[in-house]
Amino acid sequence: MSEAARRSVGLLVQTSLEGKDPAKVSEELSELAPAGVVLFRKDIERAGSAEKSVEEVRRVLKDALASTTGPLPLISADEEGGYVRRVESDRTPSAMALGASFDYGLTRKASLIIGQKLHALGINWDFAPVADVNFEPSNPVIATRSFGDNPGRVASHVVAFIEGLRTAGVLSCAKHFPGHGRSSKDSHLELPTIDADLETVLSSDLVPFRAAIQHDVDAIMVGHLYYPRIQKLEEPCSVSREIISGLLRQTLGFDGVVATDALSMKGLGERMEVGEAAVRALKAGCDLLETTSLDMAWEARHALEESLSKGNLETGRVLESAGRVEQLMQRGMAMEKSVLGAGTPKPKLFTARDYARCVTMYNQGAAFPKRGELAVVVGGSPLSPASDKLESPLSIALKRLGYYVRSSLRLEDLPRKGERYRISFAVSPNKQCVTGVLIVLRDGHMHPQWAEQVSDIVESGLPVGIIGIGTPYESSMLPDEVRYVCTYSSLEESLCAALRSLTSPSARTKPGPVRLLAHKAKKQRNLRARTK
């Protein structure tokens, strides 16, 4: 194998350091010669500060690859905002929260903030935006990571996000082609099967990807998905020639870098070993193989080299992909120099007004009391303000707005149907000491039994307010007389905006980024029947 081919193979792999000291694996990185590394929170926080950690990674990687005069290595991270954040100081809301604002300029501002933070750290590639249209309410993995369920509006937000990153000098990557929004399964855990034909996908799921391509997105990530009505072979899209070379390259005309989702995910890994997946993905038209460990990166590299030496993989195919990756690296370096040459702009800030525009009131209900002592009931969320989590975002938000938490409970621990008399006692042994009951839910529609428990709490006679920190589909199962506000994330700033909306006499309902479920009409009727 020629030295050019050997170097090219390295460029087809991106790895993770798994929180290891980059200096201690510098020789291994030099030998592996990857295109770059993917940073997770443990990598970014390893050296005590994000700036110091990323700078050390950049220095070691540049030295290991002897590329100080060549293209900068790709230093990437999944920084989407909301629940998917690798940089702790990033306080931008989720994509669905931005979708709730119906303001593409606000999305551009949010992604510029993200880009500025990444650029300041030395991260030059963001695995964002999510271009999936969230058609499936029970989607366990996309949900608030999507801008909504309207393909046209999602496309406009995707374009705005790409533009914001570009202004900050950071590369973008639209994901998860050809669309993860119809799935009720998590591709991290299994291979989702999507029941949609080509005509449907072209007119809906692919609209944001087409817009991203038209606006010069830097890369596209392919998901571990299976579309049986589009694919002739039963295999993940990430190793499908029909999907990558056919649908993405030929039909949509994309000629940039195509990256796989992580090869470690079970949607792919339960069907084949890493080496086989790497070879099949490259043959299908992928350019960059995302791995989550150095061992996995070596496994992918060795499989590619072996296939080359045996003639099972064409050298031309390897050189073609390596050329695209090098162009991406050159593009990233040019963008970084352009931003540095223009001087460091004043960082943008997301204001309280911006956060307020990213929350939605779905149920008008009565205004919740301002300040006072609360009983807090949390469902499906890590935000419990119990004594062991006093500094949770919810606790901080409540303190900022003048509330004191007298009791904190998990909805899952409250009595079930038939034991309603215990609900009031569990929530508040002494009603006179409590101003109201605040219920915080995450994706309550996935837990239908919660509807009964919420109704029982309402029947206690205490003022009740509800905040949703996931998708808003749960609104349809909640009592109409209780005010419900959705934040689409658990950020302290978003929770403060929701609490202000809960207590404002002038707050009004407004449309949200997704259509709600169909049992809204039945819920009030059911509650009345139970109270007779």
| Active-site residue, 126 included | no
Q: Is residue 218 part of a domain?
A: yes
Domain with 26 in it: what CATH number?
3.20.20.300
Q: List Cβ neighbours of 156 (8 Å cut-off, separation of 6 or more).
A: 104, 211
Among 296, 315, 341, the domain boundary falls at: 341
Active site residue: 188, 215, 302, 447, which one?
A: 188
Burial class (CB in 10 A: 0-12, 13-18, 19+), 508: exposed
| Count of the separate structural domains present in the chain | 2
pLDDT at position 70 is 62
Same domain, 38 and 138: yes
Going edge to edge, which strands form the sheet with 219-222?
A: 174-177, 219-222, 257-260
Run means of pLDDT, 10 residues per run, the chain, 532 residues: 79 92 88 92 79 84 66 91 88 97 97 94 96 96 97 98 96 98 96 97 98 98 98 97 98 98 94 96 98 96 95 93 95 87 72 96 93 88 51 87 87 64 54 82 90 86 93 92 95 96 93 80 42 40
Q: Which two tokens stand for residue 125?
A: 């590639």
Same domain, 127 and 245: yes
Could you tell me if 107 and 167 are in contact, meaning their C-beta atoms sit under 8 angstroms apart?
no
Residue type, 470: G
Same domain, 402 and 302: no
Same domain, 493 and 412: yes
Phi-psi bin for 102: left (phi > 0), alpha (psi -120 to 50), beta?
left
Could you tell me if 154 and 131 are in contact, meaning their C-beta atoms sit under 8 angstroms apart?
yes
Residue found by looking up tokens 């694919």 in the block? 231
Domain limits at 288?
3-341
Q: Is residue 495 part of a domain?
A: yes
Same domain, 110 and 256: yes
Same domain, 426 and 474: yes
Q: Is residue 48 part of a domain?
A: yes
Same domain, 375 and 311: no
Q: Is residue 346 part of a domain?
A: no
| Active-site residue, 188 included | yes
pLDDT at position 45 is 79
Q: Is residue 350 part of a domain?
A: no
Same domain, 224 and 370: no
DSSP character string of 107-171 = HHHHHHHHHHHHHHHT--EE---B------TT-SSSGGGS--S-HHHHHHHHHHHHHHHHHHT-B
pLDDT at position 344 is 58
Cα distance between residue 103 and residue 156, in whole Å: 10
Q: Is residue 351 part of a domain?
A: no
Among 341, 372, 402, the domain boundary falls at: 341
Could you tell me if 241 and 283 are in contact, meaning their C-beta atoms sit under 8 angstroms apart?
yes
Q: Is residue 347 part of a domain?
A: no
Same domain, 373 and 419: yes
Active site residue: 90, 218, 261, 456, which one?
A: 261
Q: Is residue 242 part of a domain?
A: yes
Same domain, 162 and 283: yes
Same domain, 120 and 170: yes
